[in-house]
Structure 1
């Protein structure tokens, strides 16, 4: 159960990281604007996916009890 909540927090972290990459165009090195937008969008999408997966696992674990 703790893994599901940790996955939820990790998803939020990826979303924030994606936003930071888009605004500051920096990810361990200075990025070109196009690369920053693509990398930021991918990080945000992955964060949304992690949150969705965590929520579905939390809901399913509630149904099993």
Structure 2
């Protein structure tokens, strides 16, 4: 159960990191705008996926009990 909550928090951090990459165009080095937007979008989508998966597992574990 704790892993699901940590996965939820991790998803939020991925979304925040994606936003930071898009805004500052920096990820360990300066990025070209097209690369920054692409990397930021991928990070945000992965964060959304992590949150969706965590929420679905939390709902399923609530149904099993």
| TM interval, short-chain normalised | over 0.9
4+ long deviations beyond 6 Å: none
Shift of the alpha carbon at 1:54?
0.1
1:35 equivalent in alignment to 2:62: no
Q: Give unmatched runs, 5+ long, in structure 2.
A: none
The aligned counterpart of 1:49 is 49
TM-score (norm 2): 1.00
Matched residue SS, 2:26: coil
TM score, norm. by length of structure 1: 1.00
RMSD of the TM alignment (CA)?
A: 0.1
Structure 1 regions of 5+ residues with no counterpart?
Answer: none
Secondary structure at the counterpart of residue 30 of structure 2: coil
Aligned residues: 65
